[in-house]
Structure formats: structure tokens, C-alpha cells
Structure 1
């Protein structure tokens, strides 16, 4: 009976023409390797199909090679796409990501921090909705944490986010530039009887754009009290807006799920997009590109979010990132598609 040969660190080092320590530095994503050497080692790893011995590494270093990503809404495609970016970024660094669904509830978000012990995971990437600052204070034995999202906490953790106000202002300004004057805002979401930070920031960008253009802010065109960002919620809100004595001629939706529901309701009512009503979403999920008409939307750089979150977290885990915590804003840009383009 034959036996299969399993590549070792020594084999990779010989193939790449470097030391075993250099291969180990690349495998562990340490910064002590030049870009040219790192690529050469990665090529050798791929050619030899080298697989790190994770069990031995855990015993030797005390690292499980597992990260957790806790998200508030698993049905929201935006979070699925962020998860894909995080999983890909982690995989290139030989880490596996576990997904935890918190439903945006404070108890569930706290459980992620308390229940997933260092014996199971090395660190947490968390997108919190309901946590309070006291929940996020570091404790003895707690794992490193990187925050995502729009709530800003005065806690010693790195935070990856983007400028919601500027992005919402850009979306609204685009609608104004197309000649729209009665622009509705759909997305004031409430959790635990409080409006979310995301919705407050996006409303602020919307109102700033109207004010700068000299347009009135009509409270009847601002839909509040949404329980969730879903297609159904968007469709119901649009039916209400169409029932007004003066319906809107455009609508800025605070996420793409809402916008997709809006498109359906407008179609069912016999109106046309964008001729009668222009629609802009937020998040640039894959569905937005294949809607009919294709949806104009704000596109955050999801790949950058995932890569930064993983890099920051592993830097804290391995001790290569020792400075004060940072809050980094990734870029967003407007993607103009059929839902605002006159045909």
C-alpha cells in the first residue's frame, strides 16, 4: 500500500529558498517579511498544498486560529457580504471564522463577548446595535475585539466604519440633481424603542442635502418607526407614501432591502421608475444590480472593511499592533443605475 506525502514547513522553505523561520512568519502573518519573499513563500505553499498543523500550533502557541464575527441580522444580505469579505481575509491568514447571530439584542451581544472564551476563539469582530459602553469594557481574560458599524463607543477597541452622513448627503444630492423636489426618506429604524445610530446619521445627511438646496423638509415624507430593514417593510412604506395627497417624486432608502420593496410597490401601483419616482438605496448588495430597473445605490467598500477588521484583530492577537485604538472610515461611492437614470 502506498502512502501520501504531506508537505512540511521544511519542504516549503526549501522550495521557496528561505529559512523555516521565514515560512513560519508568513504562515502566521507576521510583518517581518518583505512583499517579494512573502509572495514567493505563498506560491510554494500553494504548489506543495501545505496545510498548517492547527492542533500542534494551538498547543504550542495557545491560539485556536478561530475568530468570531457577530452580526445583528443574518437575513440582511449586506452582513452576508461583509461576512464573506471577513472570511476571505481571514483565510489568507490561515484563520477560520465562526458566525454568531445576535439579532441586535443586548443580551445576545454581551453573550458573544462573555460566552466565547479564549479557549475557543482568539478574537471577535462585532457589529453591535444594543451594547452600552459598560458592556465593552475589557476584562481579565477577555479576547481582543474589533468593532464594525455606526455606533461610536469610548472604549479601547479598533473600529472600522464609514461616513454615513456624507454618503446619505451624496445620495440625496444626486436625486436633487435629477430635478426631484419631493424626496422621501425611508429608514428611521427603532430597536428597543430607540432610533438606531445608522438611521440617525443617514437622516442627517438627507436633511443637510435638502437644506443646502433650499428645499423644505416635509415630515410626512420621513418614514419612522421601522422594526426591520426588509423588502416587505419597504413595500408597505411605499404604499403609504403613494396614498398621500402629494406623493414623493423620489425616495432615498436607507438600505437596499427597503429599496427593492419600494420598486415592487411602485410597479404594482402602476407607476414607473425612474420616470414617476426615482429610487436610491444603500449598501450595493448583489440583488441591487439585478433588480428591474437596476438600483442606484451607495456602495461601501466591503472588501476593505473585511480586510481591515481582520488585520486589526490579528495585530492585537499577535501583539504586532500595540498603539492606541483607531477608528478608520472606509470610502463609499455612489453607483448610478437605471432607477435614477432617465431613459
Structure 2
């Protein structure tokens, strides 16, 4: 159990009210008493809900969003979706960029910005399964992404493996048999990273189709940027590796791949079909427009905000953590042979083409 304010009061030999006064930085506390309370807080590892300083009601109306890098299109568009979802619910969002740095990610869970917020949405990339204890915090927290599973917080993730499997199956259904994958981990493992989970789906699709796995077609990329996607594709070409399709583990890698193919005079999709992942806005406007997996970003954002709001309003005993996995859909565009650059209408939804849509209906949230 995490230490409570009662534990701090007992250790410091003061009342709970005094501990509250110290936590909320009220000035009328004797210095010696304040130091005693602060020492007890440090020794016990107590994490106060600093958002209670905001208003007399204990609410500031502000939530935090910690993401690795806003220069990455997916996280920029995710942040935009979170802001819109929060505004719809009367909340403001403060964004923190961690740059994927482990210490900054840990600092996000304990830092001074927490005093400005009522809760936080947290998307780590450097923390892993062994860091699950760091998520046991004294404020509302919703985890995003695939780095840590079965933790003490609500978690909104995506169908990484099955959606990657669908992407590669789409290429195989077009008759492609030499499907390269770009963006794999340098040292593959059982670590539940996006790269490992998506490569797992890639291999499952090959197995389903009876296509032999060729390690020469698996290309690593430390960073999922346009340049690394272009570099990996150029190496495939320079090494003379035969390939007729590319599955890029995110769209920015795919955009780099399209650039490298164009430089080499390789036609897309006639010679090489390309599909990405994330369905960022830019994929609609590349030439050719790029097919992609939409992992349900809009629903991820709205669901995460709703879960956080539930926790902020929670009274009494804390309910067990919830895990939600929004549906995905495959968006076929020109890079895999669609004749129109526009998103086709969804055959199973009456609404116009997403961001919000369906497909993946067979994998309902757990």
C-alpha cells in the first residue's frame, strides 16, 4: 500500500491538518515543524495529490499530457485530439514533452507540474515492465501506449499485433510475396514495444499466407523518422534485396520509404506497394497517397480523457484498473492500388470517413 497522509502525520508526530498545511504550502507553519513533515514525506515516499491546491473544491480544471515528442506526427495529432476531447468536457490540457528520456518520464510522475493539474495522461517509451511500481501514484493517472501492461492504472492501448497483421495481409492479398518491414527493433525481444508487437503481426500474416520469413527483409530503425525510413529503403535497394512491398511500422517511416523509392525510379504501387501505420494527416497528401492503419487515435484520446475524468470524480474505494483497446481500421490509398486519393467510405458505419470509424469490430475492448 502507498503511504498515506495519516502515515506522514504519525511519523512526524503532528496532526493530519498540519501535514495538509505543509503539502499545500500554507505559510503559518513553524519552520521546524515543516522540516519534520517534509522529512517524513521523503522517508516514506509519500506522493500527495498536489492538484488539490488549485481550488477550494480541490480541482483546477487542468489535466496533464506527457508525450515523448511533439515533432512526431502521431503524438502531435494525439495531443490535438486530447485537447479537443478535454475542451468538450470543460478541461484544459498542459503538455509536457519527455523526449523519450527515462529520467524525464519518471520526473513527469513526481515533478512540480503536478500541482497545476487534477490528473495526467502519460505515454512513456523508455519505461518498461520493471517500472510498473512507478505508476502507483497518488493522483489520477491514465497510461497510454504499449510499454507497461497490467499496472495499477487505467490503460488505453491499441491493437498493435492484429492491426499490423491486417496491414501485411492486405499486401499479400494484392499478390505481393516479398514484403519488407521497416522500423523493427535493433535487438528484437519479448519487450512489449510497438516495434516488437507490430513485427509479430507481420510474421503472423506471413505464416497465415504460407510465405516464408526472410530476415533480410526486416530492417531496423532506431528512430521512426522520415530519414531513417528513407535510409532503410535505400539500403534494401543498394544491397540488391528483392522486395515488392513495404510495411512501415509508422507513417513517417513510410513517407521516407516513398521518397527513397521515388529517387530510385521505382514505381509505387506498380513495382512496390507501401503501407504505413498511424494514419497521420500527411499520409493522405503524399504522392502517391499512402495506405495506412488507423489505430483509433480519436477514440484513444476521447476514451483516455473520459477515464481520467472518471478517476477525478471517483469517491470512496478505488475501482480496479481498466484496460481499453479501441478498434482499428485499414485505410487503403494509392500506394497499394486504390485509384482515388480520398479516404473511401467505411462499409460498416453510416458516418463519413473517419478519423472515427470501425473495422476491427471483432476485437472489442477488454
Q: Give the TM interval when normalised to the shorter protein.
A: 0.7 to 0.9
Q: Aligned-residue CA RMSD in angstroms?
A: 2.1
Equivalent of 1:176 in 172, 175, 186: 172
Change (3 A) 1:99 1:194: farther
1:261 matches 2:259: no
State the partner residue of 1:125: 121
Deviating 4+ runs (over 4 angstroms): 193-196
Q: Give runs of aligned pairs for residues 163-312 of structure 1, distance below 5 A.
A: 163-189=159-185, 197-224=193-220, 226-312=221-307
Q: Which SS does the other structure have where 1:87 is aligned? A: helix
Shift of 1:136: 2.2
Report the Cα distance in structure 2 between the residues aligned to 1:247 and 1:342, rounded to whole angstroms: 24
Distance in 2, matches of 1:248 and 1:195, equals: 28
Structure with higher RCO (Cα < 8 A, 6+ apart): 1
Offset from partner CA, 1:120-159 (integer Å, 9 cap, x none): 11111011112243452424xx321100111233321000
1:269-318 alpha-carbon deviations (Å, 9 max, x no partner):
01100001000000000000000000000012211111111111111111
Could you tell me how far apart the structure 2 residues matched to 1:337 and 1:113 are?
A: 40
Cα distance in 1 for partners of 2:226, 2:190 equals 22
Matched-pair contact (CA < 8 Å) for 1:146–1:157: yes
Q: 1:130, 1:194 → 2: CA distance?
A: 15
Q: Given the superposition, is the C-alpha separation of residues 271 and 252 from structure 1 closer, same or farther in structure 2, using an over 3 Å criterion? A: same
**Aligned-residue offset at 1:101:** 0.8
Question: Does the 8 Å contact 2:163/2:295 carry over to 1?
Answer: no
Question: What SS does structure 2 have at the residue aligned with 1:114?
Answer: coil
Aligned length: 283
Deviation for aligned residue 1:187: 1.1
Return the alpha-carbon distance in structure 1 between the equivalents of residues 55 and 242 of structure 2: 65
Alpha-carbon deviation of 1:61? 0.5
2:64 & 2:198 partners in 1: Cα distance?
Answer: 28
Q: With structure 1 as the length reference, what TM-score do the two structures score?
A: 0.78
Aligned partners of 2:136 and 2:153 also within 8 Å? no
Cα contact 1:158–1:326 (8 A) shared by 2:
yes
Gaps of 5+ in 2: 1-52, 340-366
The two structures have a TM-score, normalised by structure 2, of 0.73
Give the Cα–Cα distance (whole angstroms) in 1 for the partners of residues 319 and 191 of structure 2: 33
Is this contact kept in 1: 2:184–2:199, CA < 8 A?
Answer: yes
SS at match of 2:253: helix
Alignment of 1:24-103 (within 5 A): 58-103=54-99
| More displaced stretch, 239-248 vs 94-103 | 239-248
Displacement, 1:105?
1.5
On the 8 A contact 1:110/1:135 being kept in 2, the answer is: no
CA distance 1:236–1:195, change in 2 (3 Å): farther
The yes-or-no answer on 1:107 pairing with 2:119 is no
Query: Taking structure 1 as reference, are residues 311 and 241 closer, same or farther at Cα in structure 2, changes over 3 Å only?
Result: same
Contact 2:274/2:291, CA 8 A, preserved across alignment: yes
Relative to structure 1, the CA distance from residue 267 to residue 195 in structure 2 (aligned partners, 3 Å threshold; closer, same or farther) is farther
- What do the CA deviations read for 1:248-273 (whole angstroms, capped 9, x no partner)? 10010000000000001000001100
Name structure 1 gaps, 5 residues minimum: 1-56
Q: How far apart, in 2, do the equivalents of 1:123 and 1:342 lie?
A: 43
> Which range moves more in the overlay, 279-288 or 146-155?
146-155
Partner of 2:184: helix, strand, or coil?
coil
Does the CA contact (< 8 Å) of 2:73 and 2:280 recur in 1? Answer: yes
